[in-house]
A and B are shown apart, each in its own frame.
Chain A
């Protein structure tokens, strides 16, 4: 299992792996050694570890590519919310695919509901496209804002305050880290 864990560490960016890889492997090894013999505890441990690794690797890549200046900093550190932000989009795509497949199957089989399915599918595709457009616009605004250096100015202004709110984990911070 340690080999699998080491292999999964390869999912992280190289710099992250270089900095924390050995420590993470060592901590995993210690935690595994201290596991109780109950099967349920073992399953729960491995599930937690591998889900944590997968979401951690995705977050590390995301942070490296787009910077940590994306909102929802409070959710970032909560294991139950540590899923990639593209999940919602992918789920919508999969859902639309399933609906379209059902609609196609219904029409091929001469189902009387075929027309209704086609209408529903059209509406869903329209909603999906609208959502993606809005998401792209919001992402573009965030990206341009980040590139424009506004966040650096904000950070400088904050650094001159007596209280230090330069916090990646603050609910009301700008998401900088």
Chain B
């Protein structure tokens, strides 16, 4: 399996969308809330990430007729969810290994 690592803002954006489809401002606030106010995304950073995620097919726009153009909703695709799960698995393995190593050091 090829391993990869997501940056923290992208991981938080994906986690935010994993819960439910959201629009831009909702993602911004959710990321801030999830990180305990540590990660504050600017609109430039957020939409840069969204554009790349859209281009890679990790997320998609929810097509709704009554949705205004300035408040479009995004959701995770199957591909995005699969890649997010891989990343979570990678992090789980990393934390497990870190716990083992530090425990060995303490012993």
Residue of chain B at shortest CB distance from A22 = B70
Q: Say yes or no for A51: interface residue by CB 8 A criterion.
A: yes
Contact between chains at A52 and B42 (CB < 8 Å): yes
Whether A89 sits at the interface, judged by CB under 8 Å, is no
Q: CA A108 – CA B70 in complex, angstroms?
A: 61
A contact residues, range: 35 or more
Interface stretch, picked from A111-119, A143-151, A160-168, is: A160-168
Roughly how many angstroms separate A34 CA and B68 CA in the complex, as a whole number? 21
Q: What does the 1/0 interface line of B19-60 toward A look like (CB < 8 Å)?
A: 000011100100000000000111111111111100110000
Q: Chain A residue with minimal CB distance to B24?
A: A27
Stretch of A72-80, A94-102, A120-128, A133-141 that contacts chain B:
A72-80
Interface residues on B, range: 35 or more
Q: Does A83 have its Cβ within 8 Å of any Cβ on chain B?
A: no
In the assembled complex, the Cα of A24 lies from the Cα of B45 at a distance in Å of 10
A residues near B, CB below 8 A? 16, 19-20, 22-28, 30-31, 48-49, 51-57, 59-60, 68, 74-79, 82, 161, 163-173, 177
Q: Known: A56-B45, A77-B10, A169-B7. Contact between A30 and B25, CB under 8 A?
A: yes
Contacts of A57 in B (CB 8 A): 44
Residue pairs across A and B with Cβ atoms less than 8 A apart, 14 shown, are A19-B51, A26-B70, A26-B71, A27-B28, A52-B42, A74-B5, A77-B9, A77-B49, A79-B9, A164-B79, A170-B3, A171-B4, A171-B5, A172-B4
Query: Residue B107 at the A interface, CB < 8 A?
Result: no
Assess whether B72 is interfacial by the CB under 8 Å rule: yes
Q: How far is the CA of A167 from the CA of B90 in the complex (A)?
A: 15
Does B1 interact with chain A (Cβ within 8 Å)? Answer: yes
Judge whether B56 and A172 touch: CB under 8 Å.
Answer: no
Residue among B1, B5, B70 making CB contact with A23, cutoff 8 Å: B70
Q: Is the CB of B70 within 8 A of A53?
A: no
Interchain CB contact under 8 A, B44 and A74: no
- Residues of A near B28 (CB, < 8 A) are 27, 31
**Nearest Cβ distance between residue A4 and chain B, in whole angstroms?**
13
B70 touches A25 (CB 8 A): yes
List B residues 80-96 near A (Cβ within 8 Å): 82-83, 86
Bound CA–CA A74/B10 (angstroms): 10
Chain B residue at minimal CB-CB distance from A34: B29
Contact B4 A166 (CB under 8 A): no
Residue in contact with B4 in the complex, picked from A19, A68, A169, CB distance below 8 Å: A169
Shortest CB distance B18–A (Å): 15
